[in-house]
């Protein structure tokens, strides 16, 4: 499962994340270990719409102040 973003608490910088949701017109049947290029090719032919949510995150209390 996915645990979400979790940078180290002692890291003195913001971490940038980008979450994307894609609506597809077909089911992808990738096998474990597929290449990113395979995903890109599949999305190019089957993506109906997409939405992206960028964000910054840190566990460093000094950066949060």
- The tens-digit pLDDT sequence of the chain (65 residues) is 677 777 777 788 888 999 999 999 999 899 999 999 999 999 999 999 999 999 988 888 888 76
Asked whether 5 and 57 are in contact (CB, 8 A), the reply is yes
In whole angstroms, what is the distance from residue 18 CA to residue 14 CA?
13
Q: What is the pLDDT of residue 8?
A: 78
Q: What is the DSSP string of 3-33?
A: ------TT--S-EEEEEEEEEESS---PPTT
* pTM (global) more than 0.75: no
Give phi and psi for 63, each to the nearest 5.
Answer: -80, -25
- Indicate if the alpha-carbon torsion angle 45, 48, 49, 52 is positive or negative: negative
């Amino acid at each position: 499962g996915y645990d979400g973003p979790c940078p180290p608490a002692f890291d003195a910088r913001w971490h940038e994340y980008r979450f994307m949701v894609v609506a597809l017109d077909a089911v992808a049947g990738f096998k474990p270990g597929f290449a990113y290029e395979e995903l890109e090719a599949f999305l190019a032919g089957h993506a109906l719409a997409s939405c992206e949510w960028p964000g910054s995150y840190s566990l460093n209390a000094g950066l949060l102040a």
